[in-house]
Amino acid sequence: MFDFEKLTVYIKIKELNKEILFFLKLNKNIDPFLKNQLKRASISIVINIAEGSGRFTKPDKKNFYIIARGSTYECVSILDIIKDEKYIFEDEFLKFYKKFEEISKMLLGLIHSQAKQF
């Protein structure tokens, strides 16, 4: 088993990623650019957590977790645009929002855990 597979944040974002991909498959009318961006950003979170866990130094690990957190913010902003375009209901948006917020907080914890100790 790889180290990243043991991380709760990895397990949670992997499940959320499945939900996002399913949502995008069901909603054919969403602008293709937005669909592609949301798909890429969601997958980026998963991949950067995995890649960061495989790095040897704390600064390297931290950098990948920061990138993953940035992609988390990107997902929320894209979903907000999709909501403005009326392709997602408020309750479904809030469900995704809360899950991404939890992921963001967990990533922040990982980022802080990689701080240099003197």
**Interatomic CA distance for residues 41 and 35, integer angstroms:** 10
Q: How many residues does the chain have?
A: 118
Q: What is the pLDDT of residues 58-104, one digit of tens each?
A: 999 999 999 999 999 999 999 999 999 999 999 999 999 999 999 99
**Interatomic CA distance for residues 19 and 25, integer angstroms:** 10
Q: Is-contact 93 56, C-beta < 8 A?
A: no
- Look at residue 118 and tell me if it is in a domain: no
pLDDT bucket at 116, cuts 50 / 70 / 90: low
- Look at residue 49 and tell me if it is in a domain: yes
Given this model, what pLDDT does residue 15 score?
98
Q: What is the pLDDT of residues 51-69, one digit of tens each?
A: 999 999 999 999 999 999 9
Alpha helices for 54-89 (secondary structure H): 58-84
Instruction: Tell me the average pLDDT across 7-14.
Output: 98
- Look at residue 98 and tell me if it is in a domain: yes
Which residues neighbour 100 within 8 Å (Cβ) at sequence distance 6 or greater? 16, 72, 75, 76, 79
- Reply yes or no on whether the pLDDT at 12 is more than 80: yes
φ, ψ of residue 90 in degrees (nearest 5) = -55, -45
- Look at residue 23 and tell me if it is in a domain: yes
Quote the domain boundaries for residue 86.
Answer: 3-113
**Interatomic CA distance for residues 92 and 107, integer angstroms:** 23
The pTM for the full model equals 0.95
- Look at residue 44 and tell me if it is in a domain: yes
- Look at residue 105 and tell me if it is in a domain: yes
| Number of separate domains in the chain | 1
Helix (H, G, I), strand (E, B) or coil at 26: helix
Domain of 38, CATH number, reads: 1.20.1440.60
